[in-house]
Amino acid sequence: MASSTSPITEAKSNAIEVLSAAKTYAGGVKALLPVDLKVERGEFVTLLGPSGCGKSTLLKMIAGITQPSEGKVVLGRRETLPSSIKSNHPLDDQEQSNYSEPKLSFVFQSPTLMPWANVHKNVRLPLDLAGVPKEIADLQVGQVLETVGLTDFANALPRTLSGGMQMRVSIARGLVTKPDLLLMDEPFGALDEITRHKLDEELLALWEKNKFTVLFVTHSIHEAVFLSTRIIMMAARPGRVTEQFFVPEPYPRGSDFLVSNGFMQYAQRVQASLLKASV
């Protein structure tokens, strides 16, 4: 059920390969010790750990928002090299690479919507930036809004929506490009328990339907066990990966899974590991 060694997987089926990537900030603060991590296509992997364990840093390194100080990140075939041997302009590697890259979407901790644009235009943003013709883009936005249940709110401005609905818009924006890889940085962290669970369930349903890869950052044990096929445990000071757990429970996972003995056992193990990591 639980294992602490990395599984050896076929390189070609990996969505993410983190190869000894580490992050040291100017001034010598070690945000993240070298991490080796492989995520297979279609997996739902959660990064779980206390504050300051570098889970967001790792996620941002994988996205290419932050560059690793050493080691590298390979996405599909795209490589993110250490910042020391390339220009410091972020995301330059995308232009330098000759390889086709996986479609990546990032969902931030806050909804990060444009307050001046309505829901429809916010969701259409990635398509607009990519130069997708307006008619096609509008069609795709209509579909994704229906998927997340926001069709009636297409013309609403973000500030008129609740926190949960704003997050849903953010997820719709993440899904509209039909990504292969969805990176989520504590997306439901600021929501109340009921809304959070509802969105967890919706996310799982979308993942089962669309078969994309998800890397999900959270500090909630329950959320991690409920969602993931695998949990990567991290510890703080310095940030590092300590352990990993597989959750080989079948999907769809409903509310009954939350109250099952199996769920409790997973949660207890993860909690024990988290306590150990927090020392």
Partner 1 sequence: MEISLKNISQVIQKNILPVALGFSVLIGWEVLVEYFEVPPYLLPGPVLMFKTLWSDRLLLGSALWVTLKITFFSFCLATLIGVLLSFLLVQSKQIERALLPYAVLLQVTPIVAVAPLIIIWVKDTTLSLVICASLVALFPIISNTTLGLKSIDPDLMNYFKLNKAKRLQILFRLRIPSALPYFFGGLRISSGLALIGAVVAEFVAGTGGTGSGLAYQILQAGFQLNIPRMFAALLLISLSGIFLYSTMAWISKTALKDWHSSESSGDES
Burial of 172 by CB count in 10 Å (0-12 exposed, 13-18 middle, 19+ buried)? buried
> CB of 99: closest distance to partner 1 in angstroms?
15
Using CB under 8 A as the binding rule, whether residue 63 contacts partner 1 is answered as yes
Using CB under 8 A as the binding rule, whether residue 110 contacts partner 1 is answered as yes
Using CB under 8 A as the binding rule, whether residue 157 contacts partner 1 is answered as yes
Tell me whether residue 81 or residue 117 sits nearer to partner 1 (CB atom).
117
65-84 positions binding partner 1, by CB under 8 A = 65
Q: How many residues bind partner 1 (CB under 8 A)?
A: 25
- The answer to whether the beta carbons of residues 164 and 190 sit under 8 Å apart is no
Using CB under 8 A as the binding rule, whether residue 106 contacts partner 1 is answered as yes
- Of these, 45, 104, 119, 225, which contacts partner 1 (CB under 8 A)? 104
> CB of 109: closest distance to partner 1 in angstroms?
8
Tell me whether residue 104 or residue 231 sits nearer to partner 1 (CB atom).
104
Q: Which residue has the tokens 């750990």?
A: 49
Provide DSSP, the chain. -EE-SPPP--GGGEEEEEEEEEEE-TTS-EEEEEEEEEEETT-EEEEE--TTSSHHHHHHHHHTSS--SEEEEEETTEEE--GGGS-SSTTHHHHH--S----EEEE-SS----TTS-HHHHHHHHHHHHT--HHHHHHHHHHHHHHTT-GGGTT--GGGS-HHHHHHHHHHHHHTT--SEEEEESTTTTS-HHHHHHHHHHHHHHHHHH--EEEEEES-HHHHHHH-SEEEEEETTTTEEEEEEE----SS--HHHHTSHHHHHHHHHHHHHHHHHH-
> CB of 176: closest distance to partner 1 in angstroms?
11
Which of these ranges, 155-163, 190-198, 201-209, 221-229, lies near partner 1 under the rule CB under 8 A? 155-163
Using CB under 8 A as the binding rule, whether residue 116 contacts partner 1 is answered as yes
Cα separation, 230 vs 43, whole angstroms: 8
> CB of 108: closest distance to partner 1 in angstroms?
5
Using CB under 8 A as the binding rule, whether residue 9 contacts partner 1 is answered as no
Which of these ranges, 109-117, 145-153, 224-232, 252-260, lies near partner 1 under the rule CB under 8 A? 109-117
Using CB under 8 A as the binding rule, whether residue 133 contacts partner 1 is answered as no
Tell me whether residue 46 or residue 105 sits nearer to partner 1 (CB atom).
105
- Of these, 126, 179, 187, 239, which contacts partner 1 (CB under 8 A)? 126
- Of these, 6, 20, 84, 94, which contacts partner 1 (CB under 8 A)? 94
Residues binding partner 1 (CB under 8 A): 63-65, 90-91, 94, 104, 106, 108-110, 112, 114-117, 125-126, 128-130, 157-160
